[in-house]
Amino acid sequence: MSGSIQVVGIGPGDLAHLTPAARHTLEDVDVIVGYITYLRLIADIAPDTPRESGGMRQEVKRVKQAVELAQNGQRVAVISSGDAGVYGMAGLVYEVLKEQAINDIEVTVVPGITALSSAAALLGAPLMTDFAVISLSDQLTPRQDVLRRVELATAADLVLCLYNPKGKQRTKPFTLTCEIIAQHRAPSTPVGIVRAASRSGQRVSLTTLAALPDTDIDMLTIVIVGNSHTMAHNDKMITPRGYGEKYQLGETHDTRTDN
Ligand code: SAH
């Protein structure tokens, strides 16, 4: 009899940001499969439940192992940081099952708080209007496609959320991305940088587009570049949604409702 696979987003790090549904799922399954760093983040949850880990670039191997365990009747949780459906494991689980023509394993995706949401909260309110999320990793997506997405999203004045901005060896896409954005946006455009959101070593900083190329950035960082309306105020990054155009935000009473 086949078991099941639940693909669980564990949130950005701190267990306070793990949803009750995700916690319940992890407490309920027979085995938890995940990258060792993420298994450490949930070490206190269901400590007696067996874990299966693997290295950083072994996602395919991990998913195949999860499928095998499920075929043997186990209820398996496959974990991702943040949300499992945002640059996470959910897609790969479905793809492997499709390729292996396995249709009798029930798959459920349990959502989590993404790095994007945690970073935005720490920075203030940078995502109040339309934004684009782009991963700068050119490992699975050709570099020219990544850069074209950056170009079009920048030209459309979308706030930009850059995942996987820079690796130890992989620095070129980030450098080129900074150059592309600089062609469209003012050097003073606010940029928020969040490293290790809700994990030990969390770092939050606000800088400008002009300073971005020289900022200390690694793979555990997410970068949010403001649009032409984004402002920095009291160390917070705020993208107005447009209320200020319609209402008198500086008045103590809402004159519209008074009328
Ligand atoms: N599924 C995750 C994304 C995983 S991709 C999500 O929903 O957020 C890995 C990238 O996510 C990292 O390179 C980094 O850009 C970002 N990231 C993940 N966790 C983070 C955290 N705690 N703080 C800042 N960025 C994070």
Three-state secondary structure readout of 66-126:
HHHHHHCCCEEEEEECECCCCCCCHHHHHHHHHHCCCCCCEEEEECCCCHHHHHHHHHEEC
> Residue 161 phi/psi, 5° resolution?
-110, 115
Residue range 210-254, pLDDT digits in tens: 999 999 999 999 999 999 999 999 999 999 998 888 888 888 876
Whether 257 has a pLDDT exceeding 90, the answer reads: no
| Pick from 1, 3, 2, 6: nearest CA to 107 | 6
Say which CATH architecture domain 4-113 belongs to. 3-Layer(aba) Sandwich (3.40)
**Domain ranges within the chain, ordered by starting residue:** 4-113, 116-243
Q: Identify the band that residue 192 occupies on the pLDDT scale cut at 50, 70 and 90.
A: very high
8 Å CB contact between 26 and 49: yes
- Choosing from 7, 170, 220, 224 the residue with most ligand 1 atoms within 8 A of its CB, the one to mutate for a pocket test is 220
The β-bridge partners of 221 are 195
Distances (CA, A) of 236 to 205, 216, 232: 9, 19, 6
Distance 71 CA to ligand 1 centre (A): 30
> Residue 205 phi/psi, 5° resolution?
-145, 155
The CATH code for residues 116-243 is: 3.30.950.10
pLDDT at position 230? 98
Residue that wins the pLDDT comparison between 242 and 70: 70
| Pick from 79, 74, 76, 70: nearest CA to 110 | 79
Residue that wins the pLDDT comparison between 235 and 56: 235
Across the chain, mean pLDDT equals 95
8 Å CB contact between 49 and 82: no
| Letter string b/e over residues 23-33, b meaning 16 or more CB atoms within 10 A of that residue's CB | bebbeebbbbb
Name the residue with the closest Cα to ligand 1, atom 13: 164
Whether 60 has a pLDDT exceeding 80, the answer reads: yes
Tell me the mean pLDDT in the region 17-42: 97
- Choosing from 17, 41, 87 the residue with most ligand 1 atoms within 8 A of its CB, the one to mutate for a pocket test is 87
**Ligand 1 pocket residues where CB is under 6 Å:** 12-13, 80-83, 86-88, 114-116, 119, 163-164, 194-199, 219-222
Q: Identify the band that residue 259 occupies on the pLDDT scale cut at 50, 70 and 90.
A: very low
pTM for the full predicted model: 0.94
Whether 180 has a pLDDT exceeding 90, the answer reads: yes
Residue range 106-142, pLDDT digits in tens: 999 999 999 999 999 999 999 999 999 999 999 999 9
8 Å CB contact between 47 and 15: no
